[in-house]
Amino acid sequence: MRAPLLGYVRSVQSTVSSAATRQRVQPVARWLVLASVALILYGSLFPFRFDSLIDVGFGELLASLRFQRTSRGDLVANLLLYMPLGLCLVLAWPARWSRLVVLVWTVLAGTALSLAVELVQVYSISRVSSLTDVVINAVGTLAGSLAAIVYLELGTTLRIPGIAAGRPEPVPLGVLLLWLAFRLAPFVPTIDWQKYQDAVKPLFLDPSIGVLDTFRYLVGWLVVGYTVRQLWRREYALFAVLCIVGIVLAGRIVVVGKVLVASELVALLICIPLAALIVANPDRRRTALLAVLLSATIVLQGLTPFQPLAHAQEFSWVPFKNSLSDSLEVNYSVLLEKCFWYFSLVWLFTRRGWSIPGAAAATATLLGAIELAQIWLPGRSAEITDPLLALIAGVLLALLGANPAASIRLPK
């Protein structure tokens, strides 16, 4: 009798804890839902060129949709676009709702939005409406919903050994997930022995080690190590880092389009003594050093190849113009990498003691200067997107809270 009663008590405690968390973050989640919808509409309808409206009924318009073949890039891009919506919606619904009701309404809302977008795309000159996209977007919403539900259960029915606060803080967890997303996109594993061999071949047949690439991976892994230390207790931190390294290296072997890079392995070796030196310093000094290294990485990447053109190129004021053109698979990988660097830099500035507006403004100013310099660099597309990403990172930090006690409560 005691075991069932204990299980029932834990179940009640879990439900109460999850409901309390949902109620606490509802105001923030509702703002993020609006932001997610705006992002979906912008990404799905850009460049906003439409044919004249066709005088047909809703039923006829709906019947015109067909299942279409889709590329891997489009598939993953649609999943990534709708996952934040599912995640935020789960947190935005009334806290008294059960998980099943929340899940059902979230997926229905995501599917309805996707269907509405596809119907509007019927009139778009550069878009192809497809029921396949509706299904993919519904799956993306479902995936985001399940991620939110799992997060709510962490620290109660689900436990990660060594997590310092029971449930991971969203900001350092977001930094870590951005790194994994950047390193493992497009997230499609394969069972192909030849692919595994091809992923390892560069280490033996062409082990080229670029100085800039090595420095970039070195700084990235140092930031990951610092992030892990914010999530896991000291005695678990090293094991957690080793697990993340193993996930990334193994993932680059089994994920299509990915290979192991000699520069990254060299960077990991350098990280061992360097991380030991950094850990010995106080937190403010560590964050200052990492912020400097991260800024240097962003500048070096932004100004490569350091060969100015004779004439300036055009500067684009249209956000995400290049990200929504050409190869989506390449573009969203680049975008995920930028999100990792910029979000991490703004966060590190706040950890150093800067205000969130000051940290976001400083990062946006740095990126704006780089974009202006790119007007004169070959193979570069100067646009407003990167400074805008830094400002978005600041808004997210303000909503989520740069530290556990700094969460901003917005009106309902």
DSSP-assigned states of every residue in 304-331? TT----SS--PPB-STTTTTTSS-HHHH
Rounded (5°) CA angle 300-302-308: 95
DSSP 3-state of 189: strand
pLDDT at 412: 32
One-letter amino acid identity for 12? V
Asked whether the beta carbons of 180 and 120 are under 8 A apart, the reply is: no
**Which residue, 191, 159, 27, 161, is CA-closest to 93?**
27
DSSP 3-state of 54: coil
pLDDT at 88: 93
Structural tokens at position 221: 């892994």
Asked whether the beta carbons of 399 and 35 are under 8 A apart, the reply is: no
Asked whether the beta carbons of 217 and 264 are under 8 A apart, the reply is: yes
Longest dimension (CA), the chain: 83
Structural tokens at position 93: 């619904």
Cis-peptide into 170, omega within 30 deg:
no
| Residue found by looking up tokens 């080229």 in the block | 208
Handedness of CA 284, 288, 293, 298 (dihedral sign): positive
Separation of alpha carbons 158 and 168, rounded Å: 12
Separation of alpha carbons 83 and 146, rounded Å: 10
Cis-peptide into 47, omega within 30 deg:
yes
DSSP 3-state of 163: strand
pLDDT at 24: 65
pLDDT tens-digit profile, the chain (412 residues): 444 443 433 444 444 455 555 666 788 888 899 999 999 999 988 888 877 666 666 667 777 788 888 888 888 989 999 999 999 999 999 888 899 999 999 999 999 999 999 988 888 877 778 899 999 999 999 999 999 999 888 877 777 888 866 778 889 999 999 999 999 998 989 999 999 999 999 888 878 888 999 999 999 999 999 999 999 988 999 999 999 999 999 999 999 989 999 999 999 999 999 998 998 889 989 999 999 999 999 999 999 888 888 888 899 999 998 887 767 777 889 999 999 999 999 999 999 999 999 999 999 999 999 999 999 999 888 999 999 999 999 999 988 865 433 333 333 3
**Which residue, 311, 227, 304, 211, is CA-closest to 262?**
211
Separation of alpha carbons 76 and 98, rounded Å: 30
Structural tokens at position 106: 């979230």
pLDDT at 12: 43
Separation of alpha carbons 267 and 169, rounded Å: 27
Helix or strand (DSSP H, E) at 290: helix 283-303
Rounded (5°) CA angle 396-114-337: 40
pLDDT at 96: 85
Separation of alpha carbons 106 and 99, rounded Å: 10
Separation of alpha carbons 264 and 280, rounded Å: 24
b/e per residue, 258-289, with b = 16+ CB within 10 A?
bebbbbbebbbeebeebbeebeeeeeeebbbb
